[in-house]
Amino acid sequence: MAEHQGGAFPRIRMRRNRRDDWSRRLMREARVTVDDLIWPVFVKETDVAEEEIASMPGVFRYSISRLVEAAGEAAALGIPALAIFPVIDPSLKTPGGDEAANPNNLICRAVKAVKKAHPDLGIICDVALDPFTSHGQDGILRDGYVVNDESVEMLVKQSLVQAAAGCDVIAPSDMMDGRVGAIRDALDSHGHEAVRILSYAAKYASAYYGPFRDAVGSATNLGGGDKRTYQMDPANGDEALREVALDLQEGADMVMVKPGLPYLDIVHRVKTEFRVPTYVYQVSGEYAMLRGAGDRGWLDWERVIMESLLCFKRAGADGILTYAAVEVARMLKDSGA
Active site residues: 203, 258
Tell me which amino acid residue 198 is: L
Q: Find out whether 139 and 176 touch, Cβ atoms under 8 Å.
A: yes
Contacts by 218-226, CB closer than 8 A, 24 or more apart: 218/130, 218/131, 218/133, 218/136, 219/136, 220/136, 221/93, 221/130, 221/133, 221/134, 221/135, 221/136, 222/130, 222/135, 222/136, 222/137, 223/135, 223/136, 225/135, 225/136, 225/137
Contact call for residue 99 and ligand PBG (CB under 6 A) = no
Work out which of 42, 62, 204, 212 binds ligand PBG, going by CB under 6 A.
Answer: 212
- Kindly tell me which residue out of 61, 157, 184, 213 binds ligand PBG, with binding defined by CB under 6 A: 213
CA 56-69-199 angle, 5° bins = 60
Asked if 316 and 267 count as a contact pair (C-beta separation under 8 A), the reply is yes
The residue from 137, 151, 162, 284 that contacts ligand PBG (CB under 6 A) is 284
100 lies in the binding site for ligand PBG (CB under 6 A): no
Cβ-closest residue to ligand PBG? 212
105, 173, 199, 278: which one binds ligand PBG (CB under 6 A): 173
- Residue 130 within binding range of ligand PBG, rule CB under 6 A: yes
Shorter beta-carbon distance to ligand PBG: residue 47 or 233: 233
Whether the CB-CB separation of 281 and 294 falls below 8 Å is answered with no
Distance between CA 316 and CA 277 in Å, rounded? Answer: 10
Mask for 47-86, x = binds ligand PBG (CB under 6 A): ----------------------------------------
Stretch that binds ligand PBG, among 144-152, 158-166, 209-217, 312-320 (CB under 6 A): 209-217
3-state secondary structure of 263: helix
- The answer to whether the CB of 137 falls within 8 A of the CB of 49 is no
The window from 125-133, 237-245, 261-269, 324-332 that contacts ligand PBG (CB under 6 A) reads: 125-133
To ligand PBG, the closest distance from the beta carbon of 144 in angstroms equals 17
Q: Does residue 250 touch ligand PBG according to CB under 6 A?
A: no
Q: Which of 209, 230, 263, 312 binds ligand PBG (CB under 6 A)?
A: 209
User: Could you list the residues that contact ligand PBG (CB under 6 A)?
Assistant: 126, 128, 130, 138, 173-174, 209, 212-213, 227, 283-284
